[in-house]
Amino acid sequence: MTKELTRPTGMLSAGMALSGTSGLFSIMSGQPTFNVVFFRCLFGAIVSFAWVGLRGGYGDYFSISRRQWPLILLSGLCLVINWLALFEAFNRTSIGFATIIYHLQPFWIVLAAGLFLGETLSRDKLGWIAIAFAGLVLTILPKIGTMQTDQNWLIGVGLAVVASLFYAATTLTTRAVESVKPDVLSTLHCLIGLIVFAPFMATMTLTGGLPMWGWLAGLGLIHTGVVYVLLYSAYPKLHTPVIAAGAFLNPAAALLTDLVVFGRSITLLQGAGLVLILLAGLAVNLGWPLLSGSTARSRS
């Protein structure tokens, strides 16, 4: 690895690993999910706004065209609803389990782009998507009995899927406002979340003292501020294969957190399911051949 790539690769790795610990901060705060998302938006808006100021970009807030605002609002709504669903899934299942299901998001993006944006859905992509969903089945199978007796687990699975759908929607709508810088967009998204979730705040539960505020502030300062700065600073300097490989650190950190802090582990079958989902995601991002590639080789 060249010296030019060492720093952005390290930033990518740190950002991905840190993002996998957001579930820990959410749960350890002891707050209702609406409170967690509200304060993530509050602290996230503060740190994003400060970062924009540090780079002298406050004028960027006023250069956004009117035509872009509907998409900014839509992408912001999708993002904060994604946070709400994911954090509630953490509460109802586990950090590692919900994170595995959440990583179906790249496949929703591919399917939606093919169905609604006219992008090509090749046989290779469809094949990898099928493999990813086979991985989902393997992940869920060991928990079928739990879901039959504990409705929370069943709801949690559904919420993790919903979170992945809304994150995919965020990604697709954000693509349409590429002219808005990521840190500016992050601030606006957090402000949208503040407005949306303010009516649902449960102020009576905010009695956890300094530790509670530390966990809540961490979600905004670290996972919305530091993580976003790390990732968006690294992305332009790295090739797609490095970025796609770095994404593995997110579920790895989530599973490690679950194991070390809560003593939860996944079964061998669930591990196989996770590998299939991540492998398929890597293949889709890198354009690896599957069906057509093997057909082409057999004819040569």
3-state secondary structure the chain: CCHHHHHHHHHHHHHHHHHCCHHHHHHHCCCCHHHHHHHHHHHHHHHHHHHHHHCCCHHHHHCCCHHHHHHHHHHHHHHHHHHHHHHHHHHHCCHHHHHHHHCCHHHHHHHHHHHHCCCCCCHHHHHHHHHHHHHHHHHHHHHHHHHHHCHHHHHHHHHHHHHHHHHHHHHHHHHCCCCCCHHHHHHHHHHHHHHHHHHHCCHHHCCCHHHHHHHHHHHHHHHHHHHHHHHHHHHHHCCHHHHHHHCCHHHHHHHHHHHHHHCCCCCHHHHHHHHHHHHHHHHHHHCCCCHHHHHHHHHC
**What is the structure's pLDDT at 2?**
61
Q: Which domain holds residue 84?
A: 7-292
**What is the structure's pLDDT at 82?**
97
**What is the structure's pLDDT at 292?**
56
In a domain, 227, yes or no: yes
b/e per residue 153-168 (b: at least 16 CB within 10 A)? bbebbebbbbbbbbbb
In a domain, 299, yes or no: no
In a domain, 298, yes or no: no
b/e per residue 90-109 (b: at least 16 CB within 10 A)? bbbbbbbbbbbbbbbbbbbb
In a domain, 102, yes or no: yes
**What is the structure's pLDDT at 246?**
83
Report the amino acid identity of residue 252: A
Q: What is the mean pLDDT of residues 197-204?
A: 93
**What is the structure's pLDDT at 298?**
37
Q: Using the structure block, give the residue that is written with the tokens 């994911």.
A: 86
In this predicted structure, the answer to whether residue 204 has a pLDDT above a threshold of 80 is yes
In this predicted structure, the answer to whether residue 24 has a pLDDT above a threshold of 90 is yes
In this predicted structure, the answer to whether residue 5 has a pLDDT above a threshold of 80 is no
Number of domains in the chain: 1
Instruction: Please answer whether residues 172 and 113 qualify as being in contact, where contact means their C-beta atoms are separated by less than 8 angstroms.
Output: yes
Higher pLDDT, 57 or 93: 93
In this predicted structure, the answer to whether residue 248 has a pLDDT above a threshold of 90 is no
In a domain, 148, yes or no: yes
In a domain, 2, yes or no: no
**What is the structure's pLDDT at 115?**
83
**What is the structure's pLDDT at 49?**
93
In a domain, 190, yes or no: yes
Q: pLDDT category, 233, cuts 50, 70, 90?
A: confident
In a domain, 260, yes or no: yes
Q: What is the mean pLDDT of residues 233-244?
A: 82
Closest CA to 154 of 144, 141, 166, 139: 144
Q: Is 264 left (phi over 0), alpha (psi -120 to 50) or beta?
A: beta
Token pair recorded at residue 61: 């807030």
**What is the structure's pLDDT at 293?**
53
pTM of the model: 0.90
Q: What is the mean pLDDT of residues 126-153?
A: 89
In this predicted structure, the answer to whether residue 119 has a pLDDT above a threshold of 70 is yes
Q: pLDDT category, 261, cuts 50, 70, 90?
A: very high
**What is the structure's pLDDT at 296?**
43
Q: What is the mean pLDDT of residues 135-154?
A: 87
